[in-house]
Structure 1
Amino acid sequence: MPLTKEENDLLTRVADGAPMGEMIRQHYWLPAVPSCKLEADGAPVRVRLLGRNYVAFRATDGSVGVLDEQCPHRKASLALARNEDGGLRCIYHGWKLNVKGEVVEAPNHTGNQEQFCKHVRVNRYTAADRGGIVWVWLGQGDTPPKFPELPFVDLPQSQRSVTSVEVPTNWLQGVEASMDSSHVGVLHESTTQLTAGGGNQRMLMTKSLAPRLEFEERPYGYRYAAIRPLADSSIYVRINNFVMPWYGIICPPDEKGPTTVFFSTPVDDVTHRAWFVHFNQHRDLGMTVMSASPDVWNFPPLPPGEAKDNWGQNRDLMKRGHQTGFPQHLGTEDFAMFLSQGPVYDRTDEQLCSADGAVIRLRQLLLKAVREFQEGKAPTIASSPELDYTEVRSVGGVLPPGSDWRSIAEAA
């Protein structure tokens, strides 16, 4: 059934002290910027998360830091700062902050500068450089939450690629798409054929558009099997995982093939950053549409037009057989759908069907977590002692008639 307005607001709003934003801030690590965007002593990079502005930088020794964008002195932007000798130096008055967020120099202060710096009020954030991404914990306290040790995090650089792009819609629209199995065979039919070839197992999704869904709860969220009957009575099974609060771990197209983690992190209430981590746990990734990205901070491309021209949809290409008229990338097709839903999708008037079970479940998990947070509790799924991100495995394949899909999941 549709959500109420209160539920929709609780799920989507993240800025200005909204409960969802504060829950995420305290209990989860957020991806901030691709690692390769930060050079030692190079330019800081602006990052906006949960409605607030930050800068990320790499210090002289290679360590990374995330700071509030405004200098604690007179609020000039640290995106303009000099990055030198282990910290950012504000070009307004010379105050310097290290990667821990500590003020270490205030050259325009007379008297005991060291003691003065110790008493400057600053927000200190914990940053980590893992899996080709610089992550940050924005919460309060001395102990960060468990780091998401997802399948790509400890792979060598040759086995993964990381790209992202800012999309002008609410974050939940992206998260829901990552767990919507039935749209893939429709929206992405042409791009799947273009990128993977007509013989790829993923093309089987275009033969049966109404999968049967079966679910299993997991300490990190849930996994589910999308089961499609084939003409010879065998079944095509795709087992994907939803990892709180936004990770969609998608099974590879073929055994030992590359797979993808999709996640959409909140920039503010009406903007999100879509992340695509393409990786292969078995061998070097090589050249793929993702690893050949021309700009890791702005890829995949957004639709090329505006609402007035249907976001640049190419109807001539559709006449020639392309299913959507957005040939740029699989992600571009998704972004066009998000934009067409509006900046914040109204879930109070939707009409769902049997294929939407995975979307409904992720909403339920998020609502449960944020309501626990509102009650002053640590969300159960964020604090579970059984939480082990390394156990997340997404697989797929064609099985004989009558097979249990769990057989390939446990063998992975």
Structure 2
Amino acid sequence: MISKELNETLTRTGPGTEAGEVMRRYWQPAALSDELAGNRPVVPVKLLGENLVLFRDDDGELGLIDRACPHRGADLCFGRLEDNGLRCPFHGWHFNRDGQCVEQPGEPEGSKMHEQIKTTSYPVVEKNGIIFAYMGPGEPPEFPNFDCFRAPDTHVFAFKGLWECNWLQAMEVGIDPAHASFLHRFLEDEDPADSYGKQFRDKAADTDIPMTKLLRDYPRPDITVEETEYGMRIIALRHLDNGKTHVRITNQIFPEAISIPMSREMIITQWHVPVDDENCYWYSMFTSFTDPVNKELMREQRLKEHRLPDYAPLKNKRNSYGFDPEEQMRETYTGMGLDINVHDQWAVESPGPIFDRTKEHLGKTDVAIIRYRRMMRAAIASLKEGNTDGLPMLNGTPPGDIYGPISNDTIGDREKWREVSAASDAERRAACTGWNAKV
């Protein structure tokens, strides 16, 4: 358990908060490129507690500015997209993508007042279906050379979903390898052929044991954590009865992303982005090492489970996440269907918007959660001292020199699991088609 004060420090991310100041030093997912499709590419964005509006101007360039017009606070999400910027319908004040007011048509002829009016604006960059924003001071950091950023657009599918909880409890489920043996336990093993784009519905690498059975039969992984230049490498070893070991390597990418293996051909990089202190979006980039992804199919699958325009899941606390006691007896551990996103959603939303961590009791399998919180505390302390020494990717190796990260799922000799894992990833990269995954 931790103190109420520390819980507040770790979870609050609005302007002026300590964790929020850390997050503002990194690129944050702000929207999907899909959200700007159509004749009027203007969408509201709430990010780290700030109300913003994202738009694409006549040149195809992106702007992210304060949602409230600096004149009298009218909502610029209803602005007129014209003259290569956004014009407030209230009095016609016109803003470019840098937030600069370039025209005040109702003011006296020759007025220069507009030159003194500039609203909040943030740099934005589009990467393989996700638009990222930098909300911190100074020049933005460069992007790391992660596989999800280096792969061509044809090999990456991006999506997002809304969860009604604080970002920290959402992120922490992704760095908890033990939960998969229970929360995602399937009581029957099915053919995963019709589950394109879903995790844990495939056979464990290099064996005929379905992943669902492996997680069910071996629920006590040995978990170790290694700190890296990007955050943490989390290693979960499930020792099988035949002298082999199932090795699963996931990664925590500081401050709030994870990278997990989905299959031998695909990894998922996922951010848990604060909307405000009680809601967050997960943004996922599915990256294929072999064939181009079937974006239409993957999007169709996800939209069957989410509503637009807010990407809220159709299964939620208001309909008990689709809980079926008969299913819980015979098919799944949760009784909430086959989509593990719903399982995770229930696990992170049911403790409440911000879990009272003065009541929690962490065990040995929570080692990554403990290490992560220490890492965030170190980053907060570092910024308070006026430096970035405690911030991964900003305190040493230039982000552009950071590749991977290696997320893997394989089986091999118990005593040689590191060699087996490295060889498995090398094999995957060597077989990569369509783009250069080698580093």
Distance 2:27 2:54 in 1: 15
- Tell me which residue corresponds to 1:400: 413
Structure 1 gap segments, 5+ residues each: none
Report sequence identity in percent: 29
Q: 1:184 aligns with which of 164, 173, 180?
A: 180
| CA deviation vs aligned residue, 1:327-381 (integer Å, no higher than 9, x gap) | 1621111111112111101222212222111111111111111121222222432
SS at match of 1:187: coil
1:399 match: secondary structure? strand
Counterpart of 1:8 in structure 2 is 7
Q: TM-score, normalised by structure 2?
A: 0.85
Q: Which moved more, 1:333-342 or 1:144-153?
A: 144-153
Aligned to 1:386: 397
TM-score with structure 1 setting the length: 0.91
Q: Which runs of 4+ in 1 moved over 6 A?
A: none
> Which whole-Å CA distance do the structure 1 matches of 2:140 and 2:338 have between them?
39
Change (3 A) 1:198 1:21: closer
Q: Distance in 2 between matches of 1:177 and 1:334?
A: 7
How much does 1:319 deviate? Answer: 2.9
2:436 maps to none
3-state DSSP class of the match of 2:30?
Answer: strand
Do the aligned residues in 2 keep the contact of 1:318 with 1:324 (CA within 8 Å)? Answer: yes
Aligned length: 404
Is 1:333 matched up with 2:329?
no
1:268 maps to 2:276: yes
Verify the 8 A CA contact 1:185 1:206 in the aligned structure 2: yes
Unaligned runs of 5+ in 2: 206-210, 427-439
CA distance in 2, matches of 1:405, 1:352: 27
> SS of 1:356's equivalent?
helix
Check the 8 A contact 1:163/1:300 in 2, yes or no. no
* SS of 2:411 mapped into structure 1: strand
Determine if contact 1:151/1:390 at 8 Å carries over to the other structure.
yes
**What's the CA shift for 1:41?**
5.8
Q: Deviations over 1:90-136 (max 9, x none)?
A: 111111111222212211122435x4322113223111111211111
Return the letter of the residue paired with 1:303: K
Equivalent AA in structure 2 for residue 369 of structure 1: A
| Aligned 1:362-377 pairs, distance under 5 A | 362-377=372-387
Matching residue of 2:149: 153
Name the residue aligned to 2:47: 49
> What does residue 230 of structure 1 align with?
240
Select 2:33's aligned residue among 32, 35, 38. 35
Where does residue 70 of structure 1 map in the other structure?
A: 68
Q: 1:274 to 1:380 in 2, by over 3 A?
A: closer
Q: Which residue of 2 aligns with 1:120?
A: 117
Equivalent in the alignment of 2:106 = 108
CA contact (8 A) 1:210 1:228 kept: yes
What amino acid sits opposite 2:238 in the alignment?
R
CA-based RMSD: 2.4
Aligned partners of 2:332 and 2:126: how far apart in 1?
40
* 1-structure distance, mates of 2:241, 2:309: 43
The one-letter amino acid of 1:120's match is: I
Change (3 A) 1:291 1:405: farther
